[in-house]
Amino acid sequence: MSDAPTPAADSPAHRYTGALAQEIEARWQDHWDAERTFEAPNPTGPLGDPTAVAGRPKKFILDMFPYPSGAGLHMGHPLGFTATDMYARYQRATGYNVLYTMGFDAFGLPAEQYAVQTGTHPRITTEANVANIRRQLRRLGLSHDPRRSIDTTDPDYYRWTQWIFLQIFNAWFDPEQKKARRIHELEAEFDSGLRTALTGDWAAMSPAERRRELDQWRLAYVSDAPVNWCPGLGTVVANEEVTADGRSDRGNFPVFKRNMRQWMMRITTYADRLIDDLELLDWTDALKSMQRNWIGRSEGATVHFESHAGRITVFTTRPDTLFGATFMVLAPEHPLVDSLTTPEQADAIAAYRTKAAAEDDFQRQNDSREKTGVFTGSYATNPMNGQQIPVWIADYVLMGYGTGAIMAVPCGDQRDFDFARKFSLPIAAIQDPTDGRGTDTSTWADAFVGDAPYVNSANDTLDLNGVASVADAKSRTNTWLSEHGHGAATITYKLRDWLFSRQRYWGEPFPIVYDENDSPHALPTPSLPVLLPDTDQFSPRTFDPDDAMSNPESPLDRLGDWVWVEADLGDGVKRYRRDTNVMPQWAGSCWYELRYLDPTNADAFVDPENEAYWMGPQGDSRSGGADLYVGGVEHAVLHLLYSRFWHKVLFDLGHVSSVEPFHKLFNQGYILAAAYQDERGIYVDAFGVQESNGTYTFEGKLVTREYGKMGKSLKNAIAPDEVCAEYGADTLRLYLMAMGPLDASRPWENKDIVGVYRFLQRVWRNIVEEDTGATRLLPEPASDETLRVLHRTIAGVREELDNLRFNTAIAKLIEFNNHLTKLGGCPADVADALVVLLAPMAPHMAEELWARLGHTSSITFAAFPVADPAMLVADTVEYPVQINGKVRSRITVAADAAADDVQAIAMADEKVQAALGGQAPKKVIVVPGRMVNIVA
RNA sequence: GCCCGAGUGGCGGAAUGGCAGACGCAGCGGACUCAAAAUCCGCCGUUCGAAAGGACAUGUGGGUUCGAGUCCCACCUCGGGCACCA
């Protein structure tokens, strides 16, 4: 970090150097704070100023808020934050009331782990880290409304996180209305007989039994089900936090499937709406498809196969191939396996099940693809044709998906085909493949998938033979299945319910206590927040990472005084046991954008009027939600899925008017940087590496270069503070944005920073006399040419900023300034426009120049210039003249010349005549204002 | 294996189907200077040519079109997501 040109001793006193930039920046940052420049008024409530809001359109511009790491901001943060700040400042200058602020996602593992190591309470570390990051953010000149900043660990904030949890706890999903409703409405339906209880006769139930019935319906519920137990972390984790190879995404420890009593959230009931409402959102297709993939909706049918042990139900996406089902396969854990297994097969089945149980889900999926399985000895009836087909078990069928059982159609499914070949099971052709391989499956090399006429697919009441399309055959089969009671069209999802409890310390306590029957009770709203109790034992009990049979032990379990409480929850004062779990880190980030709207409201998490103003559906946003949300793609499923779910519950319960939290979402790229490994593969300090003739050495030893995400682990991180100290924040902002488009990952190059630094120096020099510091403007009015360049720049910059193309917006400003430089300075009558155009990008310099140009109020609300259309059209246009697509000449023609005239002038051109050699052209294409192409 | 996204100078990157390489870095030349730095002016895809000018150029191969970096098909490479999901 020493590539900045060191100013020579005789450098002019008022040159825009890193030192001057910092002096200017600190001064304006103080000024903005003192003047409360960026405070955005609300329609109502503590931050309300109805007259200031009246008649102004709004923009809600949002960043994914950071975790306050002890290392401070990394370069990826300013990348996104600078983009939103430029956009926010631009929108303010075009008349919008802009809500733009920043909070901290401050619960979570790192602070807790640090506490375990050092004994420092996580609150202390968190507060220090937040203070440091606030300082860094301020230094970048981000135009946040400081009053709206939140911290998820603040009791005044997590009080509402707990409150929302209770809203979800006290809600159920009505499958008919497809929405969440309050639990007392369910109770009323049971009372009136409108709905029947699942566990018995409601009227005859005891209060405890009724409570248990209701608990089964809640959107937040305690369940004893397979969860991801991570002994290395000492806690359970959500499906979304487990990597493909079965390890925790934090810490990279093994994760085991274990049955445990844990809090779950019924996100699966929202699967359809979470998929369908993606249509309303302005998100990239890539992101939408990641969400769709994760939810994994697949449409098909459930089909019942009868056996002596009872009905075996399968899920299939290809009911049309039922006639080709020649065997069945159950997951080894399937409950019917015991009763299906014949005495002769009992030993083989038991051995296989033992082997399968010893392997966890992830090993099973990772191991070789060679099919294994064992015959149960029993047969089931194919409902289509009455055929008796053998029932096998095999570990390629997973208990956790569909029904844990499949019908095998080897002619149409490659896995079933492989299995049939391995165990010599019959393969019946039910389509005549279009690739000419014929219907003798003994000659097939693989399964056939696709549209082809059906054969051998008829019974007395259903005839698919001759049907040519899969879709058609599916729908006929589905109809037949339900008419004959053999099954029904069904949709299944990959998405599982969300595991919501963690056995950690640094998180939100659950506002829940248990009675003597172990039934959960919500604590009343006035008792919120349930404060996280103090302790000096922050760690859960952790275990050997491979000890699958260990049991979680939360830090809160140890606090006996805290765990037991006396309360009157309606049945008189009784003793209750507190829930000792904490919420996952995602809880606080599920709704923080809503708290920004009304951060100091003591009566509600957000006032409905404020929510409707900032986030309600309006204009072309039917979903409502933040107008712009910028952040990393690593949250594509986790945070974005969870917060959409919470938002929809709040919507259903009438607390918010927006259907979705984030209307437009933009994923920024990563900052990459060169990283170097020595011959052992260990990363070396990237800033100590020497380059010569394309080879790289570190301390004399050869190292290899690669590019990777900038960060501590690759030893190639540069802190934003370093760049601010060397060049100033305005230069850093411009560099980050000028490097390339916001969504692209790009390598950081120290040597390139100087490009935008020189640009700022040239702007400065065009307005300020470097030796004296006096303003120096050209007295004569701007020429027609200069005005045209200016207006083209205005139009261009607006266009680029509207579309978040900051790199090209900056390029256009550079072009305009280069034009001024060639004039020898800035004509006095265009100086204001230049500075206002620059203001969103380099706000400190712009404020400084604005003041020096004689303005007394902040440039923040100075109107962004509007291009005069008359200045955008030229008098004359230069047309390239192509012959057969190659440019052979150029002609200059009046801008309003008719196409015929342009053609005549082009044909008369010497070079064109020479190239044509007297031949008449076959065809001439004139594109008005663009070009001429002559086809010879 | 499936689903996305991307391949353009030495480098980062620009280009509503219409002059490929805006802008910046690096490099080269010039002015200023005793000199250097800084600044300002100019050049800067490859190749043939003294020049004028020509040929070739947007991962590869086809196609559509008067015209393709851009649209279509196939393939290659890289990045990301999912993965025995029935």
Segment A870-898, tens digit of pLDDT: 998 888 888 888 888 888 888 888 888 88
What is the three-state SS of A110-150?
A: HHHHHHHHHCCCHHHHHHHHHHHHHHHHHHCCCCCCHHHCC
Protein CA at A384 to nucleotide C1' at B7, angstroms: 52
| Tens of pLDDT, residues A223-272 | 987 788 888 888 888 888 887 777 888 788 888 888 888 999 999 999 99
Given a contact cutoff of 8 angstroms between Cβ atoms, the answer to whether A76 and A83 are in contact is no
User: Could you give the CA distance from residue A786 to residue A793 in angstroms, rounded to a whole number?
Assistant: 10
pLDDT surpassing 90 at residue A452: no
Q: Which residue is nearest to nucleotide B39 (CA to C1')?
A: A762
β-partners of residue A408 are A327
pLDDT at residue A581 tops 70:
yes
Distance between the alpha carbon (CA) of A303 and the C1' atom of B71, Å = 45
DSSP annotation of A176 reads: T
- CA–CA distance, A643 with A653 (Å, rounded to integer): 15
Closest residue by C-alpha to C1' distance, nucleotide B67: A885
Any bridge partners for residue A411, and if so which?
none
- List bases, strand B, within 7 Å of protein CB: 3-5, 11-16, 18-20, 22-26, 36-42, 54-55, 66-68, 80-86
Q: Which two tokens stand for residue A232?
A: 């290395």
- Give the integer Cα–Cα distance in Å for A404 and A63: 42
Q: Which two tokens stand for residue A369?
A: 């693809």
Tell me the C-alpha distance between A152 and A587, whole Å.
9
Query: What per-residue confidence (pLDDT) applies to A358?
Result: 73
- Average pLDDT of every residue of chain A: 91
* Residues 307-326 of chain A in contact with strand B via CB under 7 angstroms: 315-318
Do you find a cis peptide bond into A552, omega within 30 degrees of 0?
no
Counting beta carbons within 10 angstroms of the beta carbon of residue A322, is it exposed (0 to 12), middle (13 to 18) or buried (19 or more)? buried
State the pLDDT at residue A10. 63
* A308 sits in which H/E element: none
pTM score: 0.93
Helix (H) or strand (E) holding A787: helix A784-802
pLDDT at A750: 92
Q: What is the Cα A608 distance to its own chain's centre? A: 26
- CB of A765 under 7 A from strand B? yes
Residues 857-896 of A with CB under 7 A from strand B: 878, 880, 882, 884-888, 890
The token pair at A360 is 């966890």
The 10s digit of each residue's pLDDT in A705-721 is 888 888 877 888 899 99
The protein residue nearest nucleotide B4, judged by CA to C1', is A286
Q: What is residue A916's predicted lDDT score, i.e. its pLDDT?
A: 78
Q: What is the share, in percent, of chain A residues with pLDDT greater than 70?
A: 97
Side-chain-facing half-sphere of A78: CA atoms under 13 Å: 31
Q: Which of A38, A34, A56, A35 is nearest to A47 (CA)?
A: A38
Over residues A159-192, the pLDDT tens digits come to: 999 999 999 999 999 999 999 999 999 999 999 9
> Whole-angstrom Cα distance, residue A455 to residue A443?
17
Contact, A821 CB vs strand B, < 7 Å = yes
First to last CA, chain A: 59
pLDDT confidence bin for A2, thresholds 50/70/90 = very low
CA–C1' gap, A889 and B54, in angstroms: 15
- SS3 category, A447: coil
Burial class (CB in 10 A: 0-12, 13-18, 19+), A516: exposed
Query: Confidence class of residue A26 from pLDDT cuts 50, 70 and 90?
Result: very high
Q: Which of A72-81, A168-177, A633-642, A898-907 is the most confident on average?
A: A168-177
Give distance CA A924 / C1' B64 (Å).
20
Residue A346 CA to nucleotide B13 C1', Å? 67
Distance A75 CA to B60 C1' (A): 37
Q: Which of residues 6-35 of A touch strand B (CB under 7 A)?
A: 8, 10-11
pLDDT given at position A4 = 46
Phi, psi torsion values for A140, nearest 5 degrees: -80, -5
Cα separation of A51 and A43, whole Å? 8
Say how far A714 CA is from B61 C1', in Å: 40
Phi then psi dihedrals of residue A42, to 5 deg: -95, 160
Residue A3 has pLDDT above 50, yes or no: no
pLDDT computed for residue A365 by the predictor? 56
Q: Is the CB of A493 under 7 A from strand B?
A: no
Task: Note whether A16 and A761 are within 8 A (CB).
Answer: yes
| CA atoms of A448 and A369, how far apart (whole Å) | 20
Reported ipTM: the value is 0.95
Q: Is the pLDDT of residue A445 over 90?
A: no
Q: From the Cβ of A715, is strand B under 7 Å away?
A: no
Q: How far is the CA of A888 from the C1' of B51 (A)?
A: 19
* DSSP letter for each residue of A735-784: HHHHTS-TTS-EE--GGGHHHHHHHHHHHHHHHB-TTT--B--BSSPPPH
